[in-house]
């Protein structure tokens, strides 16, 4: 019976409280000012949990900032000044300023988007491969080691070139700009030079 009496008393008080809160003359609780009753410099785990770790203590330093309902006096003065300046501007002038600001913002956005597109295209151009590594390796091997070149000689190049024949061996395979250079120490058997590269003698196979 004592428990039932206490439960009936609590139920009646809760019903009365609900009626008071739901009454039309009762102001909303969200519009009421919170007054701190206990301030402590010690760490409060409950406040840490409720604020997700943002407020570790509820002390004299953090209360004015967290329970502030008005901005700083300096900010209030700036807002008043801005409101006064805005009231002085006519609607036509304000509309022109709005259009000018919108135009500047749109131009700035176009420039930013253009720069982004150019940077993306430049990155694609840099990443794109403009040569074939296989062809490059084949050319280097052909020039340096003669790999893949034909062993056939032009007609008339198999015989030894005499010193008295200035025109023999000077033109090989119809290529212009190739010059016959005599080798030192072998005057009887002069070997043709192609752009500084010594040609093989007649009795040896081409390398």
pTM score over 0.85: no
Helix-, strand-, coil-residue percentages of the chain, each rounded to 5: 50, 5, 45
Confidence at residue 73, expressed as pLDDT on a 0 to 100 scale: 87
Average pLDDT taken over every residue of the chain: 76
31 and 23 Cβ atoms separated by less than 8 Å: no
Task: List strand residue ranges (DSSP E) for the chain, in order.
Answer: 40-43, 57-58, 193-194, 197-198
| Confidence class for position 156, pLDDT limits 50, 70, 90 | low
Residue 197, SS3?
A: strand
Query: What are the pLDDT digits (tens) for 166-196?
Result: 444 444 444 444 444 445 444 444 444 444 4
Residue 175, φ and ψ in degrees, nearest 5: -90, 125
- pLDDT tens sequence across 69-127: 788 889 999 999 999 988 888 889 999 999 999 999 999 999 999 998 888 877 666 66
CA–CA dist 35, 49 (Å, integer): 20
pLDDT digit string (tens) for 19-39? 988 888 887 877 777 777 788
pLDDT of residue 10: 95
């Amino acid at each position: 019976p004592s428990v039932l009496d206490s439960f009936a008393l609590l139920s009646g008080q809760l019903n009365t409280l609900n009626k008071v809160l739901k009454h039309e003359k009762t102001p909303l609780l969200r519009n009421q000012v919170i007054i701190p009753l206990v301030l402590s410099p010690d760490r409060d785990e409950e406040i840490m949990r409720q604020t997700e770790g943002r407020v570790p203590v509820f002390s004299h330093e953090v209360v004015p900032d967290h329970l502030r309902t008005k901005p700083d006096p300096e900010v209030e003065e700036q807002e008043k000044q801005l409101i006064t300046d805005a009231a002085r501007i006519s609607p036509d002038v304000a509309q022109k300023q709005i259009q000018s600001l919108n135009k500047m913002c749109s131009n700035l956005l176009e420039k930013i988007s253009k720069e982004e597109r150019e940077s993306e295209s430049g990155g694609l151009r840099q990443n794109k491969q403009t040569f074939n590594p296989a062809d490059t390796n084949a050319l280097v091997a052909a020039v340096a080691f003669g790999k893949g070149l034909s062993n056939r000689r032009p007609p008339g190049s198999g015989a030894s070139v005499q010193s008295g024949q200035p025109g023999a061996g000077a033109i090989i395979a119809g290529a212009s700009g190739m010059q016959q250079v005599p080798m030192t120490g072998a005057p009887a058997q002069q070997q043709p030079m192609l752009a500084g590269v010594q040609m093989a003698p007649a009795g040896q196979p081409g390398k």
